[in-house]
Amino acid sequence: MKFFIDTADINEIREAATWGLVDGVTTNPSLIAKTGRFYADVLREICEAVDGPVSAEVVASEAAAMLEEGERLARLHRNIVVKCPMVVEGLKATRALSNRGVKVNVTLVFSPLQGLAAAKCGATYLSPFVGRLDDIGHDGIAMVGQLVQILRNYSYPAQVLVASIRTPTHLLRAAEMGAHVATLPFGVMKQILHHPLTDAGLEKFLADWRATRQKI
């Protein structure tokens, strides 16, 4: 399973990259707006920090404009993956961009059939939003399992990129379902690395070693 980090904060990206866990980055207009900086400048800096896919989202609402924006974003860096929304106009743009050799991440997927439609249109990544589904009383991770199974049934090269992950449990279940990628907020990425028994065990080992007064 690949881990992407879901942020536009370059400090979080650089820190997580030192842990060896960052295979890529996902951003969206909301995350980049929080930086208070120009969209293109943020994306270029992220691409320089991480040698992996960097998702950058279009903000147009019509296919022709999405295509124009997507091509402009793709020219910023070879690692840019264009994010298009899971709407009819977004699927039109996805088909056009993929036909031009541009990788596309179809975002805001909330059903397995939406994911199937995006895969048929040439998407590289399909992004189901599990946390938002949970918010309305649905089982987001169960939908991930359905989507993974559908892709296994056919020859679509698309990968399931699980988004809107709120907890380590979301990540655990996504991994059990066989999702190809998970994009994690910085906080969740930190959470998965810690366990109280690990901390207690390390402290015990070090205390016993200090008691010997030896050096390595």
At 17-34, the pLDDT tens digits run: 999 999 999 999 999 999
The dihedrals phi and psi of 179, each to the nearest 5 degrees, come to -60, 145
Tokens of 196: 């109280």
Note the pTM of the prediction, 2 decimals. Answer: 0.94
At 27-74, the pLDDT tens digits run: 999 999 999 999 999 999 999 999 999 999 999 999 999 999 999 999
Position 159: which residue type?
Q
Q: Which domain holds residue 95?
A: 2-212
Task: CATH number of the domain at 33, please.
Answer: 3.20.20.70
Mind telling me the catalytic residues?
Answer: 83
Please state which of the ranges 129-143, 148-162, 181-195, 201-215 shows the lowest mean pLDDT.
201-215
User: Number of structural domains, the chain?
Assistant: 1
At 135-169, the pLDDT tens digits run: 999 999 999 999 999 999 998 999 999 999 999 99
